[in-house]
Structure 1
């Protein structure tokens, strides 16, 4: 039902300037005033285009608060299930030895996580290798496969989500132009490449 209401609102918002300008044009003709059809048509197209561009995401935002239709790229399995389970176990072990998972990394959008840089060398190198495996996909999707382009990992951490309490974050802009996630909890660990805000929906 939310989707239908959103579509109705979008159509109404686009139709309003058209109907309004048609009424203005008819009223001017009744008054006998000169009517510049070209000017009114230009105004009509401009206002309609602006409203359409501004409101077009509304149906998707209303119909999918959990971002099922967010503009992302999903690629084939990157990490074998056994390796993903190992990464989760090592992260849990690290958190237990360090007094628990951190919850204050980002003040405005807090997550339960561990910085990979804080882990022991072997685990850190292994997780960095896993993350680096996604870089060729980022290069293909966003840099046209430019082999000369250099991408590097800037902010790498393991995140632990509560399915009930942490289902979503408010829309925000990350500090890096490109971001991605590797789902370690699923049977097939697949990188989820988010669309960059600089060219862009997260």
Structure 2
């Protein structure tokens, strides 16, 4: 990954933490987020390397969906125990989720009046995503071991509230992302690796 891409990822990790862009999500090529089924847990399940690009994309979307769902559950529970995320993510994606859980647990929260309110946050609703395109490429000698999912992230139904009940300030609720999911040969499982904002509304 290029230095520029890593820098962008770092900026996005910080931005997501500050704005509490967390919650559940699901790939939905039809654009109708309400019809997305609840995923079956795959955390910690050992699987062989992908046999095809289609298999890799399917596995990547499954773990990405569970990652967003788990982030939402961790935050809804107060953000004090982010350990369930370790079975689903690594790298920048894990850092973003853990930092965001800490933000929910500890605050302060910048609200819509641009006032920092001390104390923990509460969350409501869920972030969702709609897959636009997805493709696989080699990763550490595994064919299609890295899947990039280009998607529209929709946070319009996800809200964060400060300890005084005021709503948190947030960015554009619909924006484009490249999500990166890798196959970890040592752990024999798929892990969400990076969340890269493309800086565009969708």
Scaled by the length of structure 2, what TM-score is found?
0.30
> Radius of gyration: which is bigger?
1
Scaled by the length of structure 1, what TM-score is found?
0.30
Higher helix share: 1
